């Protein structure tokens, strides 16, 4: 079996990267929504971050960046 020409391989890989980036963005938004719900459940972003072992600023930034339109 012959390897497709490099131009075709690049187009194929570019399309795959676009799909992966879209899926990663969707996952970041779902995660941020879950973080928001966790912060509401626990009473604060700080409490959530402490429970998850993350910095509160990273949690707050994720929530802000991916849950606002």
pLDDT per residue of the chain (69 residues) written in tens, 0 to 9: 899 999 999 999 999 999 999 999 999 999 999 999 999 999 999 999 999 999 999 999 999 999 986
Cα 31 to Cα 59: distance, rounded to the nearest angstrom: 10
Tokens in use for 57?
């600023």
Whole-model pTM? 0.83
Task: Establish if 12 belongs to a structural domain.
Answer: yes
Q: What is the CA radius of gyration of the chain?
A: 19
Cα 11 to Cα 6: distance, rounded to the nearest angstrom: 9
Task: Establish if 1 belongs to a structural domain.
Answer: no
Task: Establish if 24 belongs to a structural domain.
Answer: yes
For 45, the domain range is 6-67
Cα 60 to Cα 48: distance, rounded to the nearest angstrom: 10
Number of domain units in the chain: 1
Task: Establish if 10 belongs to a structural domain.
Answer: yes
* All residues at 6 or more sequence positions from 52 whose CB lies less than 8 Å from its CB, including other chains: 38, 59
């Amino acid at each position: 079996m012959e390897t497709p020409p490099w131009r075709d391989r690049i187009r194929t890989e570019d399309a795959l990267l676009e799909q992966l980036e879209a899926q990663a963005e969707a996952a970041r938004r779902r995660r941020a929504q879950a973080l928001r719900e966790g912060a509401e459940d626990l009473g604060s972003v700080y409490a959530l971050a402490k429970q998850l072992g993350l910095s509160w600023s990273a949690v707050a930034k994720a929530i802000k960046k991916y849950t606002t339109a």
